[in-house]
Every structure is written in C-alpha cells, then in structure tokens.
Amino acid sequence: MAQPQLPNYLLAHRKRLGLSQDEVAYLLGAESGAKACRYERFVREPGFCTTLACEAVFQRPIRNLFAGRYKQIEREVARRAQRLALKIAGMKPSHSTIRKRETLAKIAAPKRKKPQRP
C-alpha cells in the first residue's frame, strides 16, 4: 500500500543541501527563517514566485518539492475535467469539440505510476 505523500518536502531538501532556515529564507527573498519554517511545517503555503524560487534553490521540479499538494490538486483538476466533459458530451461534434473531449479525457484519466526498475 502506498504511503500518503507529505504536502511538501522542503525540509528534507534543505537538510540535504546543509542550509539553515535563515539561509533558505534569504535565497527565497524572505526576511527571516521563520517563513521557511512555516513552509516546512505546512503552516503556510508559499506564493507562486516563492514556489518558483524553491525550484531554483533546491534544483528540483515544483511537482517533486510539493508532491502531496501536487497530487491533491491533480485529483481536483481531474474531477473538474470529468464534470466539464459531461457538460460538453451533448455538444455537436466538430473539430474543436473533439479536441476538447480528447484533452479532457487525458486530464481526467487516473495517473499511473511508472514502474520502477530494480
């Protein structure tokens, strides 16, 4: 059974790089390490620019740094795509409608993990 993912992995990546919370905060453009602490403890979610700065600092894609939150958002988007697909299901077939249906089907499809190599 798969273990639930944490909302983010900022603490683990900070420790891996040997940086303090104050140092990470400085790199992110924050005033003090308290902000980095709040992100690490899931008390606060960083804004868009700070999230991109996290990617630059930790050299990892956003979806990996914020894996748990990404999965949650991915599921929500998939549910909305399913509802939108139902709304357009009755529309007259056209090139545009067909393309929308294909796009929504891809978004709504359950994501499967790639098998890991031994």
Q: What is the pLDDT of residues 71-82, one digit of tens each?
A: 999 999 999 999
For 8, left (φ over 0), alpha (ψ -120 to 50), or beta?
Answer: beta
pLDDT at 118 over 60: no
pTM of the model: 0.81
Structure confidence at residue 2 (pLDDT): 62
The C-alpha atoms of residue 45 and residue 52 are separated, in whole angstroms, by 13
**Least confident among 19-23, 27-31, 80-84, 106-110:** 106-110
39 burial via Cβ count (<10 Å: 0-12, 13-18, 19+): buried
